[in-house]
Amino acid sequence: SQQGEEDPQALSIQEGENATMNCSYKTSINNLQWYRQNSGRGLVHLILIRSNEREKHSGRLRVTLDTSKKSSSLLITASRAADTASYFCATRTTDSWGKFQFGAGTQVVVTP
Amino acid sequence: DARVTQTPRHKVTEMGQEVTMRCQPILGHNTVFWYRQTMMQGLELLAYFRNRAPLDDSGMPKDRFSAEMPDATLATLKIQPSEPRDSAVYFCASGPGTGGDEKLFFGSGTQLSVL
């Protein structure tokens, strides 16, 4: 199974609403990152939160990390139609390989 | 505007044929990852290079897949022979190798269809 698992799998909201998605992971991590993928495109890095941080903001994005529960959440405030995309969490293992492993993603649809 | 370049963008081939996908990482990046994306399995890590040396290819079917970095500007992923179950989008990503806070830059992918 994948290191990161997002919840929900899909989310449909109206413009102006907030979108919240969650990610759970299994092993110790150096950091957790969130990426966005528009249809037919590659993933784009959004935000990184280190294992010793609890919350981070970037524009309309807010990320939290709870290492005791091995979970993270991504909040997009005041969503726009352009936020329609799939969102993935990625964890990097603390072993010597430092592999990036991605969750299954949350598909977000924002309707005008 | 630095970016990861993947070729071809689309490939349709018949079962049994060899497929070669190419990736040009961002200049100066020294880590390269190959991922395969399908609806059923999501993003699967196939191979991972650092300074052109393969570090992990445990996610790759060794009997038919091979990944190489002939030089710092080119990474290749080959499938021989290809099978219909290999149909997927294959992504290459590169990173600056800056340690724990490294973030990845993805190419646009190669959409492979094996008939």
B52, amino acid identity? R
pLDDT at A6: 81
Tell me the pLDDT tens digit for each residue of A43-80: 999 999 999 999 999 999 999 999 999 999 999 999 99
Q: Which of B55, B102, B107 sits opposite A42 (nearest CB)?
A: B107
Characterize the bridge pairing of strands A106-111 and A10-14.
parallel
Tokens 């990625």 -> residue: A90
Tell me the pLDDT tens digit for each residue of B10-65: 999 999 999 999 999 999 999 999 999 998 888 999 999 999 999 888 889 889 99
| Under 8 Å between Cβ of A86 and A23 | no
Q: Which of B45, B100, B104 sits opposite A30 (nearest CB)?
A: B100
A99 touches chain B (CB under 8 A): yes
Closest CA to B20 of B68, B88, B76, B91: B76
Sorted by sequence, the CB contacts under 8 Å of residue A108 that are 6+ apart come out as A10, A11, A12, A13, A19, A21, A76, A79, A83, A84, A85, A86, A87
Compute the distance between CA of residue B45 and CA of residue B57 in angstroms, rounded to an integer: 8
pLDDT at A1: 36
B44, amino acid identity? E
Mutate to test the interface with B, among A89, A100, A106 (most CBs of B within 10 A): A100
